[in-house]
């Protein structure tokens, strides 16, 4: 089970170049995966294949063994939740409460169950106190959380977040990190699309690097973040921790790069100079 890409190519009808090229990818159930890459690398196009919004021009995508060509998008959407960039632009209910309950009604949840789910969801996302307010009176960070809450309320098995930190401040990023870690802890499959390496470094998941529609790296985040060459080539920066460790000559092949390691080193240097 899981999500599987088998030799996928994709080109938009109006363009004559392949935006995705020869993608072979298996994402297992319960995995946390980051998809990194520069603007235009094909990240959004790739994830739109995961719930059948786009169908490959060549090759196939399977979700839990079912070819996405053979099911309705609405059926897949219940299982694979895609949260696009700036999802808060799409609120359509008068209150925060209704925004979430509408989503549940839409997916055919039994009426009597809805109030309890809405309450639980809004509390999880720290939005319960705003339940009677209009979504548009919330702050930017709260709106982002509400958009996530309404999509995650029906408990999808696969959660795909496109640039979740875009336009968010440090506090919201921390809250997002917490919420995402919680979902990972619950055993959900979480796929994070980003070019925010600092954010991804917080999770250190399996990381896939896309460049010009091709996968050029698939492995541990720690291994990728050591590879300055590969990152630079892809228009990305090394996370600060790695830049610092690199310049201090601390990056070793047999040891993970961690903040603790760096702190140990600095402490030793301070001791020596005392």
Ligand X SMILES: Nc1ncnc2c1ncn2[C@@H]1O[C@H](COP(=O)(O)OP(=O)(O)O)[C@@H](O)[C@H]1O
Report the interface residues with Mg ion, using CB under 5 A. Answer: 43-44
Q: Is residue 239 at the binding interface for ligand X, with CB under 6 A as the rule?
A: no
CA separation, residue 164 to residues 46, 74, 132, 195, 228 (Å): 16, 23, 25, 10, 24
Q: Is residue 19 at the binding interface for ligand X, with CB under 6 A as the rule?
A: yes
Binding partner of residue 42 among Mg ion, ligand X, none, CB cut-off 5 to 8 Å per kind: ligand X
Element (H, E) at 175: helix 170-185
Nearer to ligand X, 36 or 179 (CB): 36
Q: Binder to ligand X among 16, 39, 253, 271 (CB under 6 A)?
A: 39
**99 CA to centre of own chain:** 22
Q: What residues contact 74, with CB distance under 8 A and at least 6 apart? A: none
Nearer to ligand X, 11 or 79 (CB): 11
Nearer to ligand X, 87 or 135 (CB): 87
| Alpha carbon distance 234, 189 (integer Å) | 26
Report in angstroms how near the CB of residue 157 gets to ligand X at its nearest. 23
Nearer to ligand X, 33 or 41 (CB): 41
CA geometry: angle at 124 spanning 168 and 172, to 5°? Answer: 15
Q: Is residue 273 at the binding interface for ligand X, with CB under 6 A as the rule?
A: no
Range in contact with ligand X (rule: CB under 6 A) among 36-44, 49-57, 245-253, 265-273: 36-44
- Nearest by Cα to 22 from 227, 246, 213, 232: 213
Q: Is residue 51 at the binding interface for ligand X, with CB under 6 A as the rule?
A: no
Range in contact with ligand X (rule: CB under 6 A) among 35-43, 102-110, 142-150, 167-175: 35-43
**151 CA to centre of own chain:** 14
Binding partner of residue 189 among ligand X, Mg ion, none, CB cut-off 5 to 8 Å per kind: none
| Alpha carbon distance 210, 47 (integer Å) | 12
Q: What residues contact 179, with CB distance under 8 A and at least 6 apart? A: 124, 125, 145, 148
Element (H, E) at 206: strand 206-211
- Nearest by Cα to 185 from 32, 35, 7, 62: 32
Report in angstroms how near the CB of residue 161 gets to ligand X at its nearest. 13
Q: Is residue 15 at the binding interface for ligand X, with CB under 6 A as the rule?
A: yes
Range in contact with ligand X (rule: CB under 6 A) among 7-15, 172-180, 182-190, 220-228: 7-15
Give burial (CB, 10 Å; 0-12/13-18/19+) of 113. exposed
Q: Binder to ligand X among 7, 12, 94, 264 (CB under 6 A)?
A: 12
Q: Is residue 45 at the binding interface for ligand X, with CB under 6 A as the rule?
A: yes
Q: Binder to ligand X among 3, 33, 41, 184 (CB under 6 A)?
A: 41
Q: Note the residues at the interface with ligand X (CB under 6 A).
A: 12, 14-15, 19, 37, 39-45
């Amino acid at each position: 089970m899981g999500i599987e890409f088998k030799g996928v190519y994709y080109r938009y009808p109006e363009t004559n170049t392949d935006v995705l090229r020869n993608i072979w990818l298996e994402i297992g159930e319960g995995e946390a995966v980051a998809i990194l890459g520069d603007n235009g690398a094909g990240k959004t196009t790739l994830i739109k294949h995961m719930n059948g919004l786009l169908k490959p021009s060549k090759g196939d995508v399977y979700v839990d063994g079912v070819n996405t060509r053979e099911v309705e998008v609405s059926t897949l959407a219940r299982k694979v939740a895609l949260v696009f960039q700036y999802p808060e632009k799409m609120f359509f209910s008068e209150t925060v409460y209704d925004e979430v309950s509408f989503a549940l009604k839409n997916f055919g949840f039994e009426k009597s169950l809805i109030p309890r789910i809405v309450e639980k969801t809004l509390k999880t996302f720290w939005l319960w106190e705003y339940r009677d307010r209009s979504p548009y009176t919330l702050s930017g960070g709260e709106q982002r959380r509400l958009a996530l809450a309404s999509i995650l309320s029906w408990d999808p098995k696969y959660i795909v977040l496109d640039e979740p930190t875009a336009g968010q401040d440090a506090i919201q990023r921390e809250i997002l990190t917490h919420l995402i870690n919680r979902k990972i802890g619950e055993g959900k499959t979480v796929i994070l699309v980003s070019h925010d390496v600092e954010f991804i470094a917080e999770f250190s998941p399996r990381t896939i690097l896309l460049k010009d529609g091709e996968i050029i790296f698939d492995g541990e985040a720690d291994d990728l973040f050591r590879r300055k060459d590969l990152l630079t080539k892809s228009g990305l920066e090394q996370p600060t921790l790695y830049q610092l460790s690199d310049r201090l000559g601390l990056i070793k092949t047999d040891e993970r790069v961690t903040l603790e390691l760096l702190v140990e080193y600095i402490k030793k240097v301070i001791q020596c100079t005392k």
